[in-house]
Amino acid sequence: MRSLAGSRKPRRRRRVRRIWWGAAALALVAGYLGSLYVTVTSRFEGPHWKVPSTVYAEPVTIYPGMDVSAHHIHDRLLRLGYGPVTAAPRRPGEFRWNDDRLELYLQDFVYPDHAVEGFPVAADLRDRRVVRLIRLPDNAPLTSVDLEPEVIAGLFDESWEGRRLVRLGDVPPVLTDAILAVEDARFYEHWGIDPRSIARAIWTDLKEGEFTQGGSTLTQQLVKNFYLTQERTLYRKITEAIMAVILEARYDKRAILEAYLNEIYLGQRGEMGVYGVGEASRLYFGKDVERLTLPEAALLAGMIRSPRAYNPQINPDRARTARDRVIHRMLALKKIDADEAREALAEPVPTRPKARAAVRAPYFVDVVREQLERLYSRDVLTSEGLRVFTSLDVEAQRNTEEALRAGIAAIERRIPKGDDPLEGGVIVIQPQTGYIRALIGGRDYAETQFNRMTQAHRQPGSLFKPLAYLAALRRDGETGSPRYTPVSVVQDAPLTVVTNGRSWTPQNYDKLYHGPVTLRTALEYSFNAAAVGVAQDIGVERVIATARALGITTPLQAVPSLVLGTSEVIPLELAGAYAAVANFGTKTEPLVIKAVMDQDGRVLSRKEIAVEQVVSPEEAYLITSLLQGVVERGTGRGVRALGFDRPVAGKTGTTSDFRDAWFVGYTPDTLALVWVGFDHNRPLQLTGAQAALPIWTDVMRRVTEGEPPTDFTPPPGIVLRQVDPASGLLSNRQCPDAITEAFLAGTEPTGWCGDHGGPRFLWWLRRVLG
C-alpha cells in the first residue's frame, strides 16, 4: 500500500507542475494579448496621426493688365503641379498655353475666407499681358482669379508626412470599391484575417518558388503601417494577425476603412511624403477626394502596392496598366458595368509632370515658426495639421535671393578675402500693409541660421539721419510750426560738442566742410556736420521720440553722434520705420502670418493689419520728397546710373570704419532694405552706395518688373513751389537749376532768388558775362 501511495505522489506533483506551467503560459499569453489590446485601442482611440502644419505663401492673382511673363506664371503653374496639355484642359491642374491665350483648370482650394471648387478659365494675351479674363465654357467675364498658394514649408518632428484627413462619408463609393477590389475583396466578410486569402497566397508562393504573395487583409495592412515595422519575420506576421483580429473585434468596419484611407502611402512630393487618399487626390488630380472619377479612383487603387512604380508622373504606361487591372477587377466583381468599364478604360492617364521644386524661404519660415510658438505648443504645430497662410511672395523671394547672391559675389571680387565670409540680408515690405514679401537673413541658411534682419543689432549709420531730419521738420507742439523746412539753411561747418566731459568733432566722408547749405542738400549728400548741428538745435530727445514713434525699440543713446547712427538697431525695425514714412506717416506692424486654419477648415486666428498714425501725412511726405532727391542728385544717384527709372526715394548708409553698408529705398508700393557686412565687424572698406545700393537696385528691378510705375502723390497740406536749390528761395522760370520743392502749407518761402529774380535782360547779361 505504501508503494502504491508513494507512486501517486510523483504523478500528483507532475500534474500540479503542469497546471502551474499551463497557468503561467496562459498568464503570459493573456498578458501578451492584453498588451496588444492596449496598444491597439490606445492608438486607435487617440490622435491617429501627427499631421504637420503646412505653411503657405501668398496666392498670386491673375487679372486683366497683368504681365504674365514678369510674374513668371508658367513657372508658378509648374511648381503648383499643373501639367501642360495640348487639348483644352478637362481636369483640375491642367493648362494649355500659346502666344495669345492661356487656358487652365483651377484646382480646388480652401482659403481662410472662402473655398474654391476648381473650374476652367481662359486669359487672352497681348504682348504678354492679360487683356481679357473669362470663365469657361460660358465666357463669363472675370475680374480676377487666384492661383492657389504654394507650400513653402511643413512644421514637423521627424519626417514630413503630408496628409489631408478625410471622413469615410466624403469618400466616393467608387474609390472604396476600387481599393477593396484589389486589396481586400472580402473585407466585409472576414474578421481581420482571411484564411482563404492566406491559403491562396501560400499556394501561389509554392508554385512560384518564392514568397511574393502576402495574403494580408486590409486590416492587416493597416496594422502593419499603423503599429508595426516593415520587417519580414514570422513573429511580426503573427503579431500583425493577432492585432488585426483585436482591431476587428473592437471597432466596426467603417472606422477601420476610414483609418486605412488616411494611412496608406501614395508617393512623394519633393521632401514631403504623400499619405492618404486626400493628399494623393490633390497631388495627382488637383481636386478634393469627393470629386474623383472612376478612372482616377482606379489609378489611386492601383498605386497602393508600389507608389513609385505606378506613379503616373514617372511611369504613365505602368500606371495605366495598374489602373486598367483595377477596372477589370471591379467589373469582375460587378462593382461597375461593362459600359462604365469601357469608358473608364478609354480615359487617358493624367500625365501632369512632377511638380518643380518649391521656393523655400528658411529665414522667413523661422520667423513664422517663432510667432506661431507664441500661440501654439510645439506638439500642436507638429501634429494637428494647422494651415498657416503668410505674406510671402515666392517670386519676390526667389528674385531677392538671386540678387543678393549675385551682389555678394560681385563684392567679394573687389575686397580682400578673410577668414569670415561676407554676409548680407534683405527685407522687402509692402508699406501700406506691413506684409513682408521677402526676407533673407544671411547668404547661406545651411551654414548659419542666425537671422541678421530680425536678430542682429547693427549700427545704421547715415540711415538714421532721415529720422533726425523728420524730427526737425515736424510741427512743434508749442508753436504749431516746424523749426525747419527743406530749404532752411544749415551750417555744414566744423562743430565740436562735449559729452560726459569729452569733446567730439564730426567729419564728413570727404573730409571737407561745405559751409551753408539747404537742409535738402545736407541730406542728399549726407553731410555729417550739418546733421549733428540740426540735431543739437532741436534736441536729441526729440530725435529719439520720433524714432520711437516710428517703431524703433532698441536702446538709443542720447548723445550727439546718435544722428549719425551710432546706436545699434534691428534691421527689421529700421525697415518698418521707413515703411511708416513711405506710408504717409501710418505705421503698420511688419507681418508674416495672415491667418491660421485647422485641418477641418475653421479659422483659428486671423491677423488684422494694425495701423497707427504716428506722423502726419504731410510731414512724412517731406522726408519722401527729400529722399527722392538723394536718388536724383545725392549719394543714391547710383540707382539711376544702374538704370532703375521708377519714382523712388532712398538713402545710403555707411558706419564708421566701413563695417556696415546699407541702402533702403521705396516706390509708392514696395520698400526694400539691404545690409552688407561681416558678422565680426571686420571693415568692408566699401560705402553703402558701393556695396548695398547695387544689390537694392537689382532687387527692386526684379520685384517690380511688370508692374505699372506710380508716382508719389502729395497729400493735402503740402504745397509745391519752384525754388533755387542753392538758396532755397522762390525761383522764376528763368532759373536754370530750379527744382520743385515741397512745403507744409504756410511754410513756403516768400522771397525770390536774387540771382534770377530781376528783369529778363539782367538775367541774360549775367549768363553771358559768366
DSSP 8-state symbol, 671? E
pLDDT (0 to 100) of residue 197? 67
Q: Single out the residue of 767, 764, 387 nearest to residue 597, CA to CA.
A: 387
Whether pLDDT at 205 is above 60: no
Phi-psi region at 585: left, alpha or beta (left = phi > 0; alpha = psi -120 to 50): left
Strand, coil or helix: 535: helix
Taking CA atoms, 261 is separated from 278, 428, 485, in Å, by 8, 42, 71
Cell of 126: 497681348
User: How many Å apart are CA 116 and CA 268, to the nearest integer?
Assistant: 25
- Mean per-residue pLDDT of the chain: 88
Give 215-266 as a 3 state SS string: CCCHHHHHHHHHCCCCCCCHHHHHHHHHHHHHHHHHCCHHHHHHHHHHHCEE
Helix (H) or strand (E) holding 490: strand 489-492
Whether a cis peptide bond, with omega within 30° of 0, leads into 431 is no
Cell of 523: 541730406
pLDDT digits (tens, 9 = 90+) for 53-70: 899 999 999 999 999 999
One of 462, 561, 567, 727 is an active-site residue; which one?
462
Neighbouring C-beta atoms of residue 418, cutoff 10 Å: 11
pLDDT (0 to 100) of residue 174? 94
User: How many Å apart are CA 648 and CA 712, to the nearest integer?
Assistant: 8
Burial letters 151-189, b for 16+ CB under 10 A, else e: bbbbbbeeebbbbbbbebeebbebbbbbbbbbbbbebee
Residues 6+ apart with CB under 8 A from 427: 436, 438, 439, 440, 453, 571, 572, 575, 672, 673
**Phi, psi (rounded to 5 degrees) for 760:** -65, -35
**Phi, psi (rounded to 5 degrees) for 105:** -105, 110
Strand, coil or helix: 88: coil
User: How many Å apart are CA 483 and CA 461, to the nearest integer?
Assistant: 24
Strand, coil or helix: 480: coil
DSSP 8-state symbol, 484? -
CB of 617 within 8 A of CB of 717?
A: yes
Whether pLDDT at 547 is above 60: yes
pLDDT (0 to 100) of residue 713? 96
Whether pLDDT at 769 is above 50: no
Cell of 511: 573730409
Please indicate whether residue 81 or residue 29 has the higher confidence score (pLDDT). 81
**Phi, psi (rounded to 5 degrees) for 511:** 65, 15
Q: Which residue blocks in 251-361 are alpha helix, DSSP H? A: 253-263, 276-285, 294-303, 316-332, 338-346
Whether pLDDT at 213 is above 60: no
CB of 698 within 8 A of CB of 635?
A: no
Whether pLDDT at 353 is above 80: no
User: How many Å apart are CA 558 and CA 561, to the nearest integer?
Assistant: 8
pLDDT (0 to 100) of residue 211? 41
User: How many Å apart are CA 626 and CA 649, to the nearest integer?
Assistant: 8
pLDDT (0 to 100) of residue 35? 63
Q: Which residue blocks in 440-492 are alpha helix, DSSP H? A: 465-473
Out of 172-176, 375-379, 507-511, 700-704, least confident range: 375-379
CB of 484 within 8 A of CB of 471?
A: no
Whether pLDDT at 290 is above 50: yes
By CB neighbour count within 10 A (0-12 exposed, 13-18 middle, 19+ buried), where does 533 fall?
buried
Confidence of residue 242 (pLDDT cuts 50, 70, 90): confident
User: How many Å apart are CA 211 and CA 214, to the nearest integer?
Assistant: 8
> Is 377 an active-site residue?
no
Mean pLDDT of 544-566: 96
Confidence of residue 30 (pLDDT cuts 50, 70, 90): low
pLDDT (0 to 100) of residue 478? 65
Residues 6+ apart with CB under 8 A from 372: 53, 155, 381, 386, 388, 593, 596
User: How many Å apart are CA 37 and CA 230, to the nearest integer?
Assistant: 20
Phi-psi region at 471: left, alpha or beta (left = phi > 0; alpha = psi -120 to 50): alpha
Q: How many residues does the chain have?
A: 770
Cell of 687: 560705402
Letter for the amino acid at 252?
Answer: D
Whether pLDDT at 228 is above 70: no
User: How many Å apart are CA 509 and CA 506, to the nearest integer?
Assistant: 10
Give 36-60 as a 3 state SS string: HHHHHHHHHHCCCCCECEEEECCCE
Helix (H) or strand (E) holding 630: helix 617-632
User: How many Å apart are CA 314 and CA 491, to the nearest integer?
Assistant: 72
The DSSP-derived string for 688-749 is HHHHHHHHHHHHHHHHTTTSPP--PPPPTTEEEEEE-TTT--B--TT-TT-EEEEEETT-S-
pLDDT (0 to 100) of residue 766? 33
User: How many Å apart are CA 488 and CA 56, to the nearest integer?
Assistant: 50
Confidence of residue 160 (pLDDT cuts 50, 70, 90): confident
User: Could you tell me whether strands 161-163 and 272-275 are parallel, antiparallel, or unpaired per DSSP bridges?
Assistant: parallel
Whether pLDDT at 765 is above 70: no
User: How many Å apart are CA 631 and CA 2, to the nearest integer?
Assistant: 122
Mean pLDDT of 577-605: 94
One of 161, 183, 296, 395 is an active-site residue; which one?
183
What totals of helices (H) and strands (E) does the chain contain, helices first?
A: 23, 31
Place of cell 509554392: 206
User: Could you tell me whether strands 649-654 and 660-666 are parallel, antiparallel, or unpaired per DSSP bridges?
Assistant: antiparallel
Cell of 136: 469657361
pLDDT digits (tens, 9 = 90+) for 100-150: 999 999 999 999 989 999 999 999 999 999 999 999 999 999 999 999 999
Strand, coil or helix: 578: helix
Confidence of residue 768 (pLDDT cuts 50, 70, 90): very low
Please compute, for residue 184, the number of CA atoms within 13 A of its CA located in the half-sphere on the CB side. Answer: 24
Helix (H) or strand (E) holding 572: helix 571-582
pLDDT (0 to 100) of residue 5? 53
User: How many Å apart are CA 669 and CA 428, to the nearest integer?
Assistant: 11
**In angstroms, what is the C-alpha Rg of the chain?**
36
User: How many Å apart are CA 74 and CA 69, to the nearest integer?
Assistant: 8
> Is 625 an active-site residue?
no
Mean pLDDT of 261-268: 90
User: Could you tell me whether strands 94-98 and 83-84 are parallel, antiparallel, or unpaired per DSSP bridges?
Assistant: parallel
Place of cell 503740402: 718
User: How many Å apart are CA 159 and CA 274, to the nearest integer?
Assistant: 11
Residues 6+ apart with CB under 8 A from 180: 187, 218
Which residues pair with residue 425 across a beta bridge? Answer: 675
Cell of 505: 568733432
Cell of 599: 485641418
Whether a cis peptide bond, with omega within 30° of 0, leads into 92 is no
Mean pLDDT of 669-688: 95
Neighbouring C-beta atoms of residue 461, cutoff 10 Å: 24
Taking CA atoms, 630 is separated from 318, 559, 663, in Å, by 64, 26, 11
